Structure 1
Amino acid sequence: MKVACAVLLLALTSSSLGAPRGNLQQRWEEWQMKHGRRYISQGEEEGRRRAWQVNQDLVKAHNNRVDVGFSLEMNQFADGMLSGRQHLKHSPVVDISHDNDLPSAPPASFDWRTKGVISPVSNQGELGDPVAIVAEECVASFQAIKKGEVPKLSSPEIQDCCPMPVGEVFDCIHNFGGLCSESTYPVLTGHCRNNSCQPEVQIQGGKAVPAGQVDQMVDALLERPLAAFIDASKASFEMYTSGIYSDADCSKTVVDHGVQVVGYGEEGGQEFWICKNSWGASWGEDGYIRIKKGSDTCGIESHASYPY
């Protein structure tokens, strides 16, 4: 398998390098201009261009296939700028009990975006912490369900005060007294300064969905949006543009990114989770990705939790 992959990669690279140099250079310059790329040295630019060339052929080959349910594009990550993300530590998944009585037959589809409790898509940039971002989004949505308005809370406060496994982030927010608003907490400092502002939202802690229990994940999602931690390291995820995402090569156990699960649905016989990403509204489906439901794609059904 590894040999076959190496041969494919070599073929793709050779194909790109064999393209007319003028056309390739023009496309490279146009891509750089579109995404505002400036590199610190010629060596870095050459390395980024090689990655871009390989990804260009990968995108073309993928989109020409008829056996996949999603499409890719040469987006802002096509030069490999997202590579090197850190793996997230996660705690063991524990059982849960639901707060409310739920209908025995859940609806065929559901979307919290139609309820007015989901904040706009953010862009974490190079320094943003996906754990802090998705935790803030889930606490804000939880508050909006109760109060009717989505507050803008401080994700830097979580990043400063909760350097711990992702499964404990909601308990950490409870332990330090709740989240301040974005406008009252200082900018990211690397030191917890939550005593410098008054918390706007308090929670009791966090609960985790048992790994692989899709029905329980649906039940929990019908009560509030979820935080899910996944493997988003594959080029197919980074350059996703539309459709129902699935990649058999992504890990179900090693996770490096967080998304907010806001709903679920079905299209063409394929069920999916609706997930809000934090890479800007120009990425994916207006900042969202639909991930295949029922097969623990990239670990989405093994690392889900929520505030209460």
Structure 2
Amino acid sequence: MKAACAVLLLALTSSSLGAPQGNLQQRWEEWQMKHGRRYSSQGEETGRRRAWQVNLDLVEAHKRGDAGLSMETNQVADGMQSRRQLLNPTAHSPVVDTHHDNDVSPTRPKSFDWRNKGVISPVTNVDSFGNTFAIVAAGCVESFLAIKNGYLLGLSTYEIVDCCPLVKDDIFDCIHNFGGLCGATSYPLFTGQCKNNTCQAVAKIRGGKAVPAGHVNRMVQVLLKRPLAVLIDASAASFGRYQNGIYNDTDCSNTKVNHAMQVVGYGEEDGQEFWICKNTWGPKWGDKGYVRMKKGADTCGIESHASYPY
């Protein structure tokens, strides 16, 4: 991957940097129109265009060098995505699941996708909210209860932010401790204070458990019963520009995590196994808001920081 990055940098001199400026201006204007961008000043637009052009160069160079993974200048290409802060995995510390890998049935399906069961809520965009882990936690509880009760109910992510500061509690244990989640419309705004007594809880869980790091088979076993929450390192430029394919950038970390996603299934393509992950950057990002992460390689830490509600 390091060598690939060097190739990308060398390719910049023959990509958009050498392209006619009129053509670049047209592509920039078309990109702004497509993604509804309006900037507050000429200075901001200049800076955003500079970031967009760097990402355009990376994408164009990638197209010439790797046919297995598609990248694009998507809605985050100008750098206008939520700032990612390091998440402390030790602060998110549910009780570790003590089941063993040999508990996994040998007859488990070769592929599985909870989206086909109607228990996954629509993809949302963290830019309008600001807390990716709260979105993922709410999504996992929504799916868990939909599997149990037979219907999907939208829950309040704002209540999680108000009542569950990540530095103090495991997020699923916290949801249990304050009595469960209210519906999205019953607790619709962030207040900065926990006000869960102003609405009726409609989603109750017993807490959260963590899959032991590196136990891929255990992840599969849990996933066949409910979706998982995972923490990953999403700082690599290739992740932000992902369009489709199986993601396996080895430049990311499996310990310094800064992003959360919901794992909703798994599969295999051309002999390569992958996790199906629901992201929080809107349906225009990636494959309709989803990314396939290589399975069995702890890609970006995905198999080191998995947990679930119960």
TM-score, with structure 1 as normaliser: 0.92
Counterpart CA distance in 2 for 1:237 and 1:4 is 15
Residue in 2 that maps onto 1:62:
62
1:90 aligned onto 2:77? no
Counterpart CA distance in 1 for 2:196 and 2:127 is 23
* Contact 2:273/2:294 (8 A) holds in 1: yes
Question: 3-state SS of the aligned residue for 1:125?
Answer: helix
Residue in 2 that maps onto 1:228:
230
* Contact 2:155/2:184 (8 A) holds in 1: yes
Residue in 1 that maps onto 2:77:
78
* Contact 2:69/2:245 (8 A) holds in 1: yes
Give, as a single letter, the amino acid of the residue that structure 2 aligns with 1:96: D
TM-score, with structure 2 as normaliser: 0.91
Question: 3-state SS of the aligned residue for 1:23?
Answer: helix
Question: 3-state SS of the aligned residue for 1:218?
Answer: helix
Distance 1:281 1:27, change over 3 A: same
Residue in 1 that maps onto 2:18:
18
* Contact 1:252/1:297 (8 A) holds in 2: yes
Note the C-alpha offset of 1:109.
0.9
Counterpart CA distance in 2 for 1:293 and 1:3 is 23
Distance 1:17 1:126, change over 3 A: farther
1:156-195 to 2 correspondence within 5 Å? Answer: 156-165=158-167, 168-195=170-197
1:212-223 to 2 correspondence within 5 Å? Answer: 212-223=214-225
* Contact 1:245/1:292 (8 A) holds in 2: yes
Note the C-alpha offset of 1:83.
6.7
Note the C-alpha offset of 1:155.
0.6
- My pick for the range that moved more, 9-18 or 203-212, is 9-18
> C-alpha root-mean-square deviation of aligned residues, in Å?
2.4
* Contact 1:87/1:256 (8 A) holds in 2: yes
Of 116, 119, 122, the match for 1:120: 122
- My pick for the range that moved more, 257-266 or 277-286, is 277-286
* Contact 1:179/1:200 (8 A) holds in 2: yes
Residue in 1 that maps onto 2:274:
272
Of 202, 205, 217, the match for 1:200: 202
1:46 aligned onto 2:46? yes
Note the C-alpha offset of 1:17.
2.9
Question: 3-state SS of the aligned residue for 2:153?
Answer: coil
Note the C-alpha offset of 1:15.
4.3
Percentage of identical aligned residues: 67
Distance 1:159 1:52, change over 3 A: same
Residue in 2 that maps onto 1:248:
250
Distance 1:231 1:168, change over 3 A: same
Unpaired segments ≥5 residues, structure 2: none
* Contact 1:131/1:166 (8 A) holds in 2: no
Counterpart CA distance in 1 for 2:153 and 2:293 is 27
Counterpart CA distance in 1 for 2:5 and 2:120 is 40
* Contact 1:275/1:291 (8 A) holds in 2: yes
* Contact 1:274/1:290 (8 A) holds in 2: yes
Give, as a single letter, the amino acid of the residue that structure 1 aligns with 2:24: L
Residue in 2 that maps onto 1:153:
155
* Contact 1:93/1:303 (8 A) holds in 2: no
Counterpart CA distance in 1 for 2:14 and 2:270 is 37
Counterpart CA distance in 1 for 2:65 and 2:239 is 16
- My pick for the range that moved more, 219-228 or 117-126, is 117-126
* Contact 1:90/1:165 (8 A) holds in 2: no
Counterpart CA distance in 2 for 1:199 and 1:213 is 34
Give, as a single letter, the amino acid of the residue that structure 2 aligns with 1:52: W
- My pick for the range that moved more, 24-33 or 172-181, is 24-33
* Contact 2:82/2:127 (8 A) holds in 1: no
* Contact 2:82/2:126 (8 A) holds in 1: no
* Contact 1:140/1:151 (8 A) holds in 2: yes
Q: How far does the alpha carbon of each residue in 1:97-135 deviate from its partner, in whole angstroms, 9 at most, with x for none?
A: 45xx76344221111111221111122225331111000
* Contact 2:123/2:283 (8 A) holds in 1: yes
How many pairs were matched up?
306
Counterpart CA distance in 2 for 1:86 and 1:170 is 20
Note the C-alpha offset of 1:174.
0.4
Note the C-alpha offset of 1:5.
5.7
